[in-house]
Structure 1
Amino acid sequence: MPSNAHSLLPFNTFGLTQSANNIVMLHHREQLAELAEHAGPRLVVGEGSNLLFTAPFEGQVVVNRLKGIHVSDAGDAWRLTVQGGENWHQLVCYCLEHHMPGLENLALIPGTVGAAPIQNIGAYGVELSRFCEQVESYHWHSGETHLWSAQDCAFGYRDSVFKHQAKGQLIVSVTLLLPKAWQPVLGYGPLAQLGEQATAQQIFEQVCATRQAKLPNPAELGNAGSFFKNPKVIPAQAEALKLAWPELPVYPAENGLVKLAAGWLIDKAGLKGTAVGGAAVHEQQALVLVNRCGASSEDILRLAALVRDRVAQQFGVQLEPEVRMIGPHGETHLDEALSWLN
């Protein structure tokens, strides 16, 4: 690492020893005007739980540590305005402790509140978009904040406006509406066995137990959670795949498409435990790539390409990474990052 570079090791859960030219901790809004004067590449980071640094970052990394939770009564719902640097799981716990259920299906999703709308985080049949009322962002070039309604956010599956025309803006705060007339969401996986009388606390505990059993702790084994999105295909393709593999899990998706379980595809392709250098496909959850032993960015990239290509060969399904890949000057993608290695 160059002598004038700063280590990104504390700011990425993959445990990679990449670096940045400059790292700034953002604790107060008053810092924004000064930070906006930076002329080079800039990257906003929460807890680095969905990032893969593919190369040294030749710019400034801003670590969002804005804190605060404000709750008000909106009649038939609780309105929470949460600063972007708050930890997401701690927010879920806060809501349950204060008798405001709704987020329990999203327990133990790593990262900050500011990262949640970028990905439109989701798990066990619930997405952030279900509860998001508005998002406040800061535009570095204009120096102004902007309020995005839920509709303006253009939420999709692991997608939002903040990955496209609003990419790179800092998420200052997120406002959520949690209906007082709470309804459990029990249609996915182990939650169905809880029964319709399940409480929010029971759902929370089941989600936590399931995630802890299946997903490695980044503090013990470097990873960025689910590496690939669940692919969406047309019903005819899903039906053809079901003829060959009747046990293939399928779920309804928007626009008449069908969602397949990426982890199942990777597992059935015989890839669990497959390693490239220090990187490997996790033995318990094939959807997770792990830093098993001093992996480099190149190890992870080559392993991701191997997994994608093997699944495409066996099932004719193209996997797309969910993890955000960051190159020297900002966002990149798998093929581009691989091209720099060759």
Structure 2
Amino acid sequence: MTCSQTSLKPLNTFGLSVSAKSIVYASDTETLIDSWQDHQGKPWLLMGGGSNMLFLDDFDGTVVINQLKGISVEQTQDNWLIHCAAGENWHDFVQFTIKEDMPGLENLALIPGTVGSAPIQNIGAYGVELKDVCDYVDILDLTQNKLVRLTHTECLFGYRESIFKHRYQHGYVITAVGFRLPKCWQPNFSYGPLKAVKETLTTPKSIFDKVCEIRRSKLPDPAKMGNAGSFFKNPIISTQAAEAIKQHYPDAPFYPQNSDQVKIAAGWLIEQAGLKGYQAHGAGVHPQQALVLVNLGEAQPADVVSMAKHVRDTVHQKFSIWLEPEVRFIGTKGEVNAVDTLS
């Protein structure tokens, strides 16, 4: 269905006043294919919940909202096998699995966006990533009008990384994601706030509730304050660089990756750079979670970009670490390189 309303403000969680030439709501694959064939080389952008995007300007083409729906469940002796359409809301899906006694996604509660967006970023939180539970991803080749199933291995998952950011970025649509959840449930308490109270978290539902409680206490509701969640990736640095930081900050939050590298919390770096709660020109750094950049009400795209650049430059000046945006930057013709935009 093509909509006469072309404003993207209610469709992006930053709440930025941008628009598109046209907006198509696709609840079936035929609509996806038709919109692709109709765009005739003009800009074409697929969206889910609009929760991981920063529009830099009005979009000079068609925006397609993926609204494919449906969940089906099978089981083996050892696993729950769940097939979920890409247009389903992610948190609602997690809530469904908990309600149906199929644990494994509880640490990923309350992440904004849709199921179809989850593999692109390999979303993760509280010690769990999508790659840990993903069995396969179904994609639609819009040019060939053909469905293809990629196995977990073929998705090439990495930290906030996947093949869907590269080979299958253009001309393809994620239509569904398959999940394999072991019936022999093992809770994950590796993340600090959960580890501290793990004795009280005896069920998947209790972990789900705790994750929701933590996220609500730290993260702003996009309906009340525009944001795209975590704006920057947690940088991975050498153990040598980490040791240098430890000399001045013994309690710095490091997470070992391998013998030569560690991950450091980007929010901590931003906070130590004195930017927590910083505001300028309608944009700001959230006072409870420095990793989240916010639209304070009437910010323009350039204001958010300026804020992100200021944060990135200030952290580099203090720690010699360049932060890389996790949020996708969308220009007038499509996605652009976020690092280049901020450099």
- Normalized against structure 1, the TM-score is what? 0.95
Which residue does 1:75 correspond to in 2?
A: 77
| CA deviation after TM superposition for structure 1 residue 338, in Å | 5.5
Question: What secondary structure does 2:61 align onto?
Answer: strand
**Matching of residues 139-218 of structure 1 within 5 Å:** 139-168=141-170, 169-195=172-198, 198-218=202-222
Q: Distance in 1 between matches of 2:148 and 2:22?
A: 26
Which residue does 1:128 correspond to in 2?
A: 130
CA separation of 1:233/1:180 partners in 2, compared to 1, >3 Å: closer, same or farther?
A: same
Question: What secondary structure does 1:16 align onto?
Answer: coil
Q: Distance in 1 between matches of 2:342 and 2:97?
A: 42
| CA deviation after TM superposition for structure 1 residue 144, in Å | 1.6
| CA deviation after TM superposition for structure 1 residue 264, in Å | 0.5
Question: What secondary structure does 2:155 align onto?
Answer: coil
| CA deviation after TM superposition for structure 1 residue 64, in Å | 0.6
Question: What secondary structure does 2:33 align onto?
Answer: helix
CA separation of 1:131/1:280 partners in 2, compared to 1, >3 Å: closer, same or farther?
A: same
The question of whether the paired residues in 2 share the 8 Å contact of 1:43 and 1:62 is answered with yes
**Matching of residues 146-295 of structure 1 within 5 Å:** 146-168=148-170, 169-195=172-198, 198-253=202-257, 256-295=260-299
| CA deviation after TM superposition for structure 1 residue 36, in Å | 2.5
| CA deviation after TM superposition for structure 1 residue 336, in Å | 4.2
Q: Distance in 2 between matches of 1:89 and 1:5?
A: 27
| CA deviation after TM superposition for structure 1 residue 334, in Å | 3.2
Which residue does 2:55 correspond to in 1?
A: 53
2:322 paired with 1:322: no
| CA deviation after TM superposition for structure 1 residue 5, in Å | 8.0
CA separation of 1:295/1:322 partners in 2, compared to 1, >3 Å: closer, same or farther?
A: same
Which residue does 2:24 correspond to in 1?
A: 24
Q: Distance in 2 between matches of 1:235 and 1:225?
A: 28
Which residue does 1:9 correspond to in 2?
A: 9
Q: Distance in 1 between matches of 2:287 and 2:250?
A: 23
Which residue does 2:89 correspond to in 1?
A: 87
Q: Deviations 1:156-176 (Å, cap 9, x if unpaired)?
A: 001100001111321100000
Q: Structure 1: state its 5+ residue gaps.
A: none
CA separation of 1:321/1:215 partners in 2, compared to 1, >3 Å: closer, same or farther?
A: same
Counterpart amino acid of residue 263 in structure 1: G
Q: Deviations 1:233-253 (Å, cap 9, x if unpaired)?
A: 011111111111112100012
CA separation of 1:175/1:255 partners in 2, compared to 1, >3 Å: closer, same or farther?
A: farther
The question of whether the paired residues in 2 share the 8 Å contact of 1:36 and 1:143 is answered with no
- Of the candidates 102, 110, 113, which is equivalent to residue 112 of structure 2? 110
Q: Distance in 2 between matches of 1:124 and 1:33?
A: 37
Q: Distance in 1 between matches of 2:36 and 2:248?
A: 55
Counterpart amino acid of residue 143 in structure 1: N
Q: Distance in 1 between matches of 2:77 and 2:332?
A: 48
Greater CA deviation, 257-266 or 36-45?
36-45
Q: Deviations 1:265-298 (Å, cap 9, x if unpaired)?
A: 0001000122221100111110000000200000
The question of whether the paired residues in 2 share the 8 Å contact of 1:70 and 1:82 is answered with yes
- Normalized against structure 2, the TM-score is what? 0.95
Question: What secondary structure does 1:305 align onto?
Answer: helix
Counterpart amino acid of residue 333 in structure 1: N
CA separation of 1:138/1:300 partners in 2, compared to 1, >3 Å: closer, same or farther?
A: same
Q: Distance in 2 between matches of 1:337 and 1:241?
A: 28
| CA deviation after TM superposition for structure 1 residue 85, in Å | 0.3
Taking every aligned residue pair, what percent have the same amino acid on both sides?
50
| CA deviation after TM superposition for structure 1 residue 225, in Å | 0.2
2:99 paired with 1:97: yes
Q: Distance in 2 between matches of 1:31 and 1:292?
A: 36
The question of whether the paired residues in 2 share the 8 Å contact of 1:5 and 1:21 is answered with no
Greater CA deviation, 257-266 or 163-172?
163-172
Counterpart amino acid of residue 176 in structure 1: F
Counterpart amino acid of residue 153 in structure 2: Q
Question: What secondary structure does 2:158 align onto?
Answer: coil
What value does the CA root-mean-square deviation take over the aligned residues? 1.5
